[in-house]
Amino acid sequence: MRYLLRELEAVHGMILKSKKIYIMLDFDGTLTPITNDPRLVTLSVDTKAVLRQLSIDSRFVLVIISGRSMGDVRELVDVEGCVYVGNHGLEMSGPALSFVHADAAGMSKLLLNISSELTKTVSKKRGLIIEDKRLTMSVHYRNVPRQDVPGIRAAVRKVVRRHKSVEITYGKKVMEVRPRISWNKGTAANWLIERFGDGLPLYFGDDRTDEDAFSALRYGITVLVSQKWRSSNAKYYVKSTEEVVAFLKSMISPE
């Protein structure tokens, strides 16, 4: 991987040659720092202003693509003209767009039942947050005492194993219970590009689920957000959410 901020001339050259650019941005850990409680996160005024400027440029298709529910991320970002992609691509909305993956739509009752079962068995563990997002479910253990984490992970796996139509994926101190279907951030990103027309994808993300998009968008500009070096399918990296915003600002007024 190459450090994006040292490659500005080359990257801006690719952008200037493209008539349409898909700016695809993860939310937590990319546009805003990860917080101990995902319910308390906010988007800075400065970042929101940058997104608004990008959203009114006819060259850009601005896409916020998150593991959060679509309604949640739309409320947090609150920028008109964006395409909002929630639940790792299972639901999308935007200008002339309303989509819910057909195979996932019928699983909300099952996920609610799993959430209820886990609430009964592990919810009393200090610091644990169980988040029902209708099409998926998240078990956040960032604030759980270290000695309790193995038991929680084992309990979640035990419950999920009983249901063949769902699976577990892992993020930063979170377990995601998702429909077992061939759909992720990468397939969702390519679906959007096919729907709205060819263009250059520019994708920023920080988590394991973003690796699906990095792999699917090899023909574009893919950027890992990580303070520490790690192996990734991304072509470039930046070190912080602040550097993400700095690059986005450079797209508004490239030097």
pLDDT digits (tens, 9 = 90+) for 125-153: 888 998 888 899 999 999 999 999 999 99
Catalytic status, residue 26:
yes
CB neighbour list of residue 13: distance below 8 Å, 6 or more residues apart = none
Residues 140 and 60 placed together within one structural domain of the fold: no
Residues 96 and 195 placed together within one structural domain of the fold: yes
Residues 10 and 68 placed together within one structural domain of the fold: yes
- The residue from 26, 28, 206, 207 that is catalytic is 26
Q: Which domain holds residue 138?
A: 106-179
Q: Domain boundary at 123, 158, 179, which? A: 179
- Tokens found for residue 240: 């912080």
- Write the pLDDT tens digit of every residue in 15-74: 999 999 999 999 999 999 998 888 889 999 999 999 999 999 999 999 999 999 999 999
pLDDT at 66: 95
Give the three-state DSSP class for 153: helix
pLDDT at 253: 56
- Tokens found for residue 33: 């720092």
- Tokens found for residue 164: 């063949």
pLDDT at 255: 44
- Alpha-carbon distance of 22 to 220, in angstroms, equals 9
- Tokens found for residue 166: 């769902």
Q: What is the CATH number of the domain that holds 69?
A: 3.40.50.1000
Residues 148 and 89 placed together within one structural domain of the fold: no
Say which residue the tokens 């319910």 belong to: 39
- Cβ atoms 234, 207 nearer than 8 A: no
- Alpha-carbon distance of 91 to 77, in angstroms, equals 16
- Alpha-carbon distance of 182 to 164, in angstroms, equals 14
Q: What is the DSSP letter of 87?
A: G
Residues 11 and 79 placed together within one structural domain of the fold: yes
Residues 61 and 187 placed together within one structural domain of the fold: yes
Residues 94 and 198 placed together within one structural domain of the fold: yes
* Number of domains present in the structure of the chain: 2
- Cβ atoms 22, 193 nearer than 8 A: yes
- Write the pLDDT tens digit of every residue in 188-241: 999 999 999 999 999 999 999 999 999 999 999 999 999 988 899 999 999 999
